[in-house]
Structure 1
Amino acid sequence: MVKFSLLAASLVAPTVLAGPLPGPQTQTESQVSPRQGGYYFQNWSEGGSNIRCNNGGGGGYTATWNSKGGFVCGKGWSYGGNRAIKYTGSYNATGPGYLAVYGWTRNPLIEYYIIEAHADLAPNEPWTSKGNFSTAEGDYEIFTSTRVNKPSIEGTRTFQQFWSVRKEQRVGGTVTTQTHFDQWSKLGMRLGSHDYVIMATEGYTATGGPGSSGQGPRPSLLTLLLRPVRELRSYATRALRSASYPVRGVWYFARHPEFYPLFVGRLLPLSIISFLVYFLLFTFAFLPQYLFLLIFHGAAGALINTTVLVLGEGLVVIQGLFEGFFVDECRVDIFDATLINYGFTELIAPHRVLFLDAPNSVKMLGKPTSPAEYQPWSIKQIIELIVFLPLNLVPYFGTPAFIMITGSRLGKLSHHRWFKLRGVNKKDMKQEIKSRRWEYLWFGTVAMVMELVPVLSFFFLLTSTAGAAMWAAKMEERARVRVGQPTAHGEHAHQDAEGPVYYDDPV
């Protein structure tokens, strides 16, 4: 365990990391004089495992990690601006990562770093060098870069990053932030109104490369034994959370009468279509398939598998011929209206006309000003449904496998509208889907089961859309909410104004 000390009452109390020995973690701790008052503690992660950032006493924290998931943790103040930040400690890490003074401004939205020490510095990152400068505190090189549709203190945004990178690395000393602000200003790099600033430890994954790691004391035997249990619990929690959204969407839809006209307006034609399709299939296709499956299954198994098989065949016909023409526009309206109900009007506004004085979110929706589709009409999805239908012939496991495989595709398409609203390109969209593929599997599986219910399939199609929008809204909220609280020490400790630190959870 490494110990840090901050001495001056006017200085931020941060912590620095400890780094890589031959294993999966890193540890750091710092200690600050009680008279320095309260500090804000940040612990942000984009979902990587094996990341531990603990709030220590005073200005201290510890960080241990070995992960491909990015994280930022540290300690500082809720307001940045001109500060002289004195810190001591140690930094010892491998892979992409920094020890840096880290902060944000608003209007314009800027993320900035003053890097004091680093492991792999910005591998494959598109940084632009702006020059060098020297001060009594050291020599630095200045860079800029742009983040497109990434998490920020204002949600998913496109914003600039400003960097000062110390040429001779150190772990301990004083960083006067105004010195860097002035140098950036000379180069036309304009900051906005200051938000929080911390002394931070960051690790992340290079494009196509490994993650970063830092290590302190080896974990105990009990920790090693419990690790699989914790990971299993994490997978189960994520699966249950995502699987709950199609069900929650039913309750949400029912509690919002403004959605009812969207349902009723398409209910009659789709109900007639669904009834005719399923009537013909169950009349002419059910019995031959049941008799065939009876050869390989018992009576009960043949009945269940044949029912799912016929429902799947009906779903192929309905989706392939009618759903895109009758339902997609309705699903876009429900998705957009749900986001408006959660307060994300600014996500919708650039993409369609909005009547802000309307009495409810549905009536606020005008014509789209850009292509609007809930999910693309996917011939691949239709082909997958057809190709995997024979799985229902397999005893016991065939039907669940069919539902989960097709449900996985359904889940991956459930946030297509959200990606388009945010302007996410195809490459970043694939990365986001990949990072949540476990969650999309279970969301889609539950939605698929509900949509296989005859007659009610159209209703559940719309409620699952509301559930997908609720899920997207929750992720937007987590990207924007700043959670945390200052840690004060001593009876007369000073505490900064309220303003907890940024935290983001992708699930």
Structure 2
Amino acid sequence: MSSSNFVESVQAKAQEVAKEDFDRAKILINDAARSGSYLYPLKGIAYFATHKSLWRPLLSRLGPTLALSAGVVSSMFFFTYLPQLAILVFVNGPLAVLTTVLLILNESSTIISIISKNFLLQDAILDTFDGTLVARNATDIVTEGRQIKPNGDPIARLGKVLKSPFSRFSPKALVRYVMYLPLNFIPVVGTVAFIILNGRSRGATVHDRYFQLKRYSQSQKSAWLSEHAGAYAAFGTVATLLDMIPVASILFTFTNTVGAALWAADIEAKENEMAKTTAPGLQETAKKAE
């Protein structure tokens, strides 16, 4: 094969791969747009603000977590801003001032998330998720994972946990985060891609508790996430952007949890409605068969 034919072959293959990736991205974007999942983090903010009983888990952990957030963000800017700026300025030019800030906020958010969710907030986040489901009258699904008391507000009704809560931080998530870091050397586009990729990873975990309550096997969970990949990536990206806001990220950790629970409640309500609609038809078909 001549060199010109080889180059043409490589170019054709590159165009084919690019087209496949573009078509895949278009499907994911359409999936996200149809699902409206990107709105749930915002719905979580509104719902949290108007349901004071959901504030209790946050308030119980507010002091230590705010101190952690302030300490991590200030330390990261003090110790890493100039070194990272010196590197990024070579590839991003004047925009490095902005992209370095975004990078440090994302790094800080990741550090805060790892520490707080594993040592400070795990029980509080679990109560917030389950409490939101109870508030949305999805009590039946919550009883699969914990006892529910008959009286009181949604948080007061939460009893003993029967199933272990969310899994702790996965080393794979940290490895994936470090792998994506070099994207920040690409001006603007790289930083955006970095946030979206982290958002996609984040989105894949937001319904871990819901899948646990549904008793999904790993294969069922993987199939569901694959079928709704765009929706979960959109939710995760918006949630990641909210988590990047300094100090306030602790609040958005809880509102994002509320948003994820609202989404789960809507999925559950839709499935129940479909079951009610389908059941009479199946019964009628069975009678005719007899």
Please confirm whether the aligned pair reaches a TM-score higher than 0.5, indicating the same fold.
Answer: yes
Distance verdict in 2 for CA 1:427–1:254, change over 3 Å: same
Q: Which amino acid aligns with 2:128?
A: I
- Residues 316, 386 of structure 1: 8 Å contact kept: no
With over 3 angstroms needed to count, the CA separation of the structure-2 counterparts of 1:385 and 1:233, relative to structure 1, is: closer
CA distance, structure 2, for counterparts of residue 339 and residue 281 of structure 1? 36
**Alignment root-mean-square deviation, CA:** 2.1
Aligned counterpart in structure 2 of residue 453 of structure 1, from 241, 245, 250: 245
Q: What is the aligned partner in structure 2 of residue 277 from structure 1?
A: 72
TM-score by length of 1: 0.48
Letter in 2 for 1:354: I
Aligned counterpart, 2:45: 250
Q: Which amino acid aligns with 1:318?
A: I
CA positional deviation for 1:501: 5.1
Tell me which residue corresponds to 2:186.
394
Is 2:162 aligned against 1:366?
no
For 1:355-504, what aligned pairs fall within 5 Å after superposition? Answer: 355-358=149-152, 360-373=153-166, 375-482=167-274
Contact 1:313 1:389 in 2 (8 A): no
Q: Which amino acid aligns with 1:365?
A: L
Structure 1 stretch displaced more, 443-452 or 313-322: 313-322
Task: Within 5 Å, give how 1:106-117 maps onto structure 2.
Answer: none
Separation (CA, whole Å) in 1 of partners of 2:59 and 2:197: 31
Larger radius of gyration: 1
Rounded Cα–Cα distance in structure 1 between residues aligned with 2:257 and 2:98: 27
Describe the superposition over 1:155-203 as per-residue Cα deviations: whole angstroms up to 9, x where unpaired: xxxxxxxxxxxxxxxxxxxxxxxxxxxxxxxxxxxxxxxxxxxxxxxxx
Structure whose residues are more often strand by fraction: 1
- Determine if the alignment matches structure 1 residue 261 to structure 2 residue 56: yes
Give the ranges of 4+ consecutive aligned residues of structure 1 lying more than 6 Å apart after TM superposition. none
Q: Which runs of 5+ in 2 are unaligned?
A: 1-26, 280-290
Q: Quote how far apart the aligned CAs of 1:288 are.
A: 2.1
Alpha-carbon shift at residue 392 of structure 1 (Å): 1.2
Work out the CA distance in 2 between the residues paired with 1:331 and 1:362.
12
Aligned-partner residue type, residue 201 of structure 2: R
Aligned counterpart, 1:302: 96
Give the CA deviation at 1:259. 1.3
SS in 1 for 2:255: helix
d(CA) in 1 for partners of 2:67, 2:117: 13
Task: Give the whole-Å Cα distance in 2 for the aligned partners of 1:253 and 1:323.
Answer: 19
User: Which of the two has greater helix per residue?
Assistant: 2
Amino acid in structure 2 at the alignment position of 1:296: V
Asked whether the 8 Å contact 2:32–2:232 carries over to 1, the reply is no
Task: Indicate the SS of the match to 2:150.
Answer: coil
Distance, in Å, in 2 between the alignment partners of 1:469 and 1:382 is 25
Partner of 1:218: none
| Contact preservation (8 Å) 1:308, 1:392 | no
Are 2:30 and 2:230, in contact at CA under 8 Å, matched by a contact in 1? no
> Which 5+ residue runs of structure 1 have no aligned equivalent?
1-230, 484-498, 503-507
- Per the alignment, do residues 347 and 302 of structure 1 end up closer, same or farther by CA in structure 2, a change over 3 Å counting? same
User: Is the contact made by 1:293 and 1:306 (CA closer than 8 Å) also made in structure 2?
Assistant: yes
Corresponding position: 1:238 with 2:30: no
CA distance in 2 between partners of 1:235 and 1:466 (Å): 22
Distance 1:242 1:467 in 2: 9
- Aligned-residue offset at 1:454: 0.8
Q: Give the AA of the match of 2:88.
A: L
1:341 Cα deviation (Å)?
1.3
**Aligned residue pairs: how many?**
254
Q: Which residue identity does 1:331 align to in structure 2?
A: I
Q: Where in structure 2 are the equivalents of 1:17-416 lying within 5 Å?
A: 234-235=30-31, 237-238=33-34, 241-299=36-94, 301-358=95-152, 360-373=153-166, 375-416=167-208
Match of 2:282 in 1: none
- Alpha-carbon distance in structure 2 between the residues aligned to 1:328 and 1:465: 11
User: Alpha-carbon deviation of 1:449?
Assistant: 0.5
Higher relative contact order (CA 8 A, sep 6+): 2
Instruction: State the distance in 1 between where 2:115 and 2:241 align.
Output: 20
Paired letter, 2:71: L
Given that 1:305 and 1:393 are in contact with CA atoms closer than 8 Å, whether structure 2 keeps it comes out as no
Structure 1: how far apart are the matches of 2:67 and 2:32?
40
AA at the equivalent of 1:336: D
Q: Distance in 1 between matches of 2:52 and 2:33?
A: 31
CA contact 2:105–2:246 (8 Å) conserved in 1: yes
Partner Cα separation in structure 1 for residue 28 and residue 115 of structure 2: 41
Alpha-carbon offset, residue 346 of structure 1: 1.3
**2 CA distance for matches of 1:314 and 1:232?**
28
What percent identity do the matched residue pairs reach? 30
Question: Which amino acid is 2:159 matched to?
Answer: G
